[in-house]
Amino acid sequence: MQERSIGTLTVSVVGIGCNNFGGRLDEAGTKAVVDTALDEGITLFDTAGIYGGQRSEEYLGRALGPRRDEVVVATKFGMPTGEVSGGAAPDYVRRACEESLRRLGTDRIDLYQLHAPDDRVPIADTLGALEELRAAGKLVEIGCSNFSVAQLDEAATAAGDRARFCSVQNQYSLLWRAPEDDGVLEDCERLGLGFLPYYPLANGLLTGKVVRGAAPPAGTRLAAMPEERSAHWLSDELLGRVEAIRDVADARGVSMLSLAFSWLLAHEVVASVIAGATSPEQVRANAAAPRALDRATLDELDAAAKA
């Protein structure tokens, strides 16, 4: 498994998204996925306080057990949970960190990420609280998610000589190109941030399992998605692009999944491709997916994805 850097952290180029833990996966299923990931050389596990009804962190921590120091644990704070409104106010940041440490059963969080911007709180105040937690040894690096170029620049300016974001996690895939269009990828290069794409398989469209004219397979993300959201992903336009990408994959004798991962990793600013998994088989397929793509293949994929 190849590795790349996020700040001072070294991570595998394939990571495990832990949003299924505590939801679609019970504790035994979580352990099976985590054990397989470790066996495959995957070292980045990305969760959040809100995932799995707040069970994801607990299941991940127990599944890692004595192997916790072999991996990079990334989690997030800021989303509302029950009666807690979330956000990025300093008092909330401190409390959320302590709760995540407790659920994970660890003494530190390797990458602590603000899940979404909070316009109610000056980013300097949030960074100040995160600096305190880092100075106390409770955090190693900090990152953010769903940030725009303006918000990334504001955070970089506000950081000064204190803790600063070393990564941003935004949606990005062959079929969702917003980070290119809105300048976030370019800003990451300028600021030295690692980029972590979420939904790298476009909600399952790039697994090869979804075909025009057939309902999404039972148990998949698209099958469980409300119709008002799935309508976008199952539109004729996107399914036509999926077929064009499938043709590129078939012509090269590789899977669509492999092309989806490899295309993302062809961007040097992408630190790791984080994908959820609900079975050891999916973990092994994800771990085996990355491969070097030549310029002709990259150009064909771009053309297919924008057809």
Positions marked catalytic: 51
Measured CA to CA in angstroms, residue 174 lies from 123, 154, 233, 239, 296 at distances of 31, 28, 13, 13, 16
Cβ partners under 8 Å of residue 8, min gap 6: 140, 141, 166
* Cα separation, 222 vs 216, whole angstroms: 6
User: What is the phi/psi pair of residue 40, to 5°?
Assistant: -90, 0
Q: What angle do CA 146, 304, 238 make, to 5 degrees?
A: 60
Cβ partners under 8 Å of residue 239, min gap 6: 205, 210, 211, 212
User: What is the phi/psi pair of residue 15, to 5°?
Assistant: -120, 170
Measured CA to CA in angstroms, residue 154 lies from 122, 144, 150 at distances of 10, 12, 6
Structure tokens at 197: 């794409």
Q: What are the beta bridge partners of residue 72?
A: 44
Task: Enumerate the H helices of the chain as residue ranges.
Answer: 27-39, 56-64, 90-104, 123-135, 149-159, 178-181, 184-191, 221-224, 227-233, 236-252, 256-265, 280-288, 295-305
User: What is the phi/psi pair of residue 177, to 5°?
Assistant: -105, 20
* Cα separation, 283 vs 48, whole angstroms: 19
